[in-house]
Amino acid sequence: MVASPPPSIRPDSPELADQAGEWRSAYVHIPFCARICPYCDFAVVEGRQDLVDRYVSALVSEISMSVDWDTLDAVFIGGGTPSQVAPMLIGEILESLNDKFGLVDGVEVSMEANPEDITARSSRGYRAAGVNRLSMGVQSFDDVVLTALGRQHTGGQALRAIEDARSVFERLSIDLMYGDPTETEASWDRTLDSALAAGADHISAYSLTVELGTPLSRAVAAGAPAPDDDVQADRWERAAERLSERLIRYEVSNYATDAPCKYNLATWAQGEYVAFGLGAHGHRNGIRTRNLRRLDRYIETVEAGQRPIAGETVGSGWDRELERLMLGLRRTAGVVAGAAGQKLLEDHPEFVDAGIIEQREGRIVVVKPLLTDTVIREVLAVPPQE
């Protein structure tokens, strides 16, 4: 087992990026939401609090049915809205993971939360349950933008929730979202100002994306304004400029002080992780699995004593090499070039000539992060070496 890094290691260091591939992680999905956001295409359900206890019991059973594995370095409880589930139940889930796999000393346990669910009391409850890193879905501190995004909190509520959480949690992350047509340059600046002033040690800034099948995609198809690519590029650049005043960018959309998200670092390093819950995706021994996405089928399958696997993908050697490169290119530290990286450089010298990517001590680094997806699309077309 590779030891966790000391906190003095920069989040964008190549050493940390590569070490993370040896960590063992678990993802736990909580699908419940008070209201589903119009842009969301995750495996979620609205309401259905009547099924929470039964779902958590199924989660615990699914964990117990899993094949034995290594001790866990990181746990990420995502959703959905995990803060819709009582701290006691979150504690039961973490206890079951510890019983099945064990948790290393200093394990990072992250949990997503919505501001309207977080108070000083709830924060103490989740901390007592074993959560030590809270990831709060703020999205914006502008009430007009929050309404357009379908969020249920106000900017003021978010600030109060952050203050309550900071008094309890060792690590606090804020998620932001930019690019909604109601957002202005001034309002985005105010959101960045508020996020920095709030004192979180991790901030993620993601663009609003129109996913097929979501209420947002139907609204855009019916004539509602769509996010503008050029505006979103401007918003990303503004975020990079402002957030880098206090934090270090270690991935295209993620910034941290000395507290990067260990689970995310592991997944970007093609690390292995077990996954539990509705629609959850796991990765072990080169096999990627996915769980059932219908809540009733998931619960009934587990209650019948069967694992809720809907399918799996076994990657070939070259496919895994391309995947390693694509995942690693998102990191500020880049990725060891390897066979696929060398082929990319040979086939696309224009990327180097244009200053889009660089070679640094055997690594490939994207130095124009807004073009990361462009580079990754070309990676997909890299043919195997003969």
pLDDT of residue 376: 95
pLDDT of residue 386: 59
pLDDT of residue 375: 95
pLDDT of residue 305: 97
Each domain of the chain, given as residue ranges in start order, spans 14-268, 317-380
Helix, strand or coil, per DSSP, at residue 62: helix
Write down the CATH number for the domain with range 14-268: 3.20.20.70
pLDDT above 50 for 104: yes
Give the separation between CA 221 and CA 123, rounded to whole angstroms.
Answer: 40
Phi, psi of 196 (to 5 degrees): -65, -40
Neighbours of 316 (CB within 10 A): 10
pLDDT above 70 for 327: yes
Helix (H) or strand (E) holding 371: none
Segment 71-97 shows an average pLDDT of 97
Cβ 108 vs Cβ 75: under 8 Å: yes
Cβ 73 vs Cβ 22: under 8 Å: no
pLDDT (tens digit per residue) in 367-386? 999 999 999 999 988 888 65
Q: Please enumerate in sequence order all residues whose Cβ is within 8 A of that of 382, keeping only pairs 6 or more positions apart, or say none.
A: 322, 340, 343, 344, 347
Query: In which band, very low, low, confident or very high, does the pLDDT at 316 lie, cut at 50, 70 and 90?
Result: confident
pLDDT above 60 for 1: no
Cβ 351 vs Cβ 357: under 8 Å: yes
Query: In which band, very low, low, confident or very high, does the pLDDT at 233 lie, cut at 50, 70 and 90?
Result: very high
Query: In which band, very low, low, confident or very high, does the pLDDT at 9 lie, cut at 50, 70 and 90?
Result: confident
pLDDT of residue 259: 87
pLDDT of residue 384: 84
- Report CA-CA distances (Å) from 237 to 6, 36, 242, 253, 377: 30, 29, 9, 11, 22
Give the separation between CA 292 and CA 296, rounded to whole angstroms.
Answer: 10
pLDDT above 70 for 8: no
pLDDT of residue 354: 95
pLDDT (tens digit per residue) in 124-140? 999 999 999 999 999 99
pLDDT (tens digit per residue) in 271-282? 999 999 999 999
Q: Which residue carries 């769980």 as its tokens?
A: 291
Cβ 100 vs Cβ 253: under 8 Å: no
Cross-strand bridge partners of residue 79: 30
In what side-by-side order are the strands of the sheet with 335-336? 335-336, 363-366, 357-360
For the entire predicted model, the pTM comes to 0.94
Strand pairing report for 133-139 and 103-113: parallel
Give the separation between CA 236 and CA 292, rounded to whole angstroms.
Answer: 35
